[in-house]
Amino acid sequence: MATSEELTKELFSFSNEIHQRIIQSHRAHSAFIGRGKILWLLANNDYVYQNQLANLAKIKPGSLTQILEKMEHEQLIIRKRDHNDKRLIYVRLSNKGKEQFQKNEKYHRDFQEFMTAPLTPAEIDQFVATLTILRKQFNTYIDQHQKEMKNN
């Protein structure tokens, strides 16, 4: 039977490996790494102002502007000023952006199906339940640790 130390070591090791390998895979898959979230948000919010998009993406407006400039240069998005208020810029996906979003969605669906193929639905349910418990415990630990740091 595995110990809690072995479980924690495997969990962190697997998490790190997933992160590193996903980055490598995405780079090989698409030149649009880091912009998937923006593509997703625009695909799900057809007409959105740039400042609203920054809030949805939870990034600073200046950082978003840099990302959008690159995406516009690559013809993934269309930015236009509002006719009534020239200070506002709305953003939407171009046809090329919609195509890239569809490619990204297919890639992620294929990845998810491949990763979960050896598991039964019951195993998936149990694994998700276990990760939920671990996430809650992790957050409790971090919260307690931060309170201790403030008190010291």
CATH C-level class of 13-116: mainly alpha
Q: What are the φ and ψ backbone dihedral angles of 30, each rounded to 5 degrees? A: -150, 145
Domain-wise residue ranges, the chain: 13-116, 119-147
Is 0.85 surpassed by the pTM of this model? Answer: no
Tell me the average confidence (pLDDT) per consecutive run of 10 residues in the chain, 152 residues long: 90 89 68 75 91 93 92 94 90 95 89 94 95 93 90 80
Q: How far is CA 18 from CA 37, 79, 96, 107, in A?
A: 18, 35, 29, 16
In the structure encoding, which two tokens stand for residue 69, read together?
């400039």
Beta bridge partners of 48: 91
In the structure encoding, which two tokens stand for residue 1, read together?
């039977």
Tell how far CA 52 is from the center of its chain.
Answer: 18
DSSP 73-123: HTTSEEEEE-SS-TT-EEEEE-HHHHHHHHHHHHHHHHHHHHHHTTS-HHH
Q: Which residue has the tokens 């993406």?
A: 57
Distance CA 114, CA 110 (A): 6
Q: What is the pLDDT of residue 36?
A: 85
Of the candidates 47, 79, 45, the residue with the CA atom closest to the CA atom of residue 64:
79
Contact 40, 108 (CB under 8 A): no
From first CA to last CA, the distance across the chain in angstroms is 39
Q: How many Cβ atoms sit within 10 Å of the Cβ of residue 80?
A: 10
Distance CA 100, CA 39 (A): 8
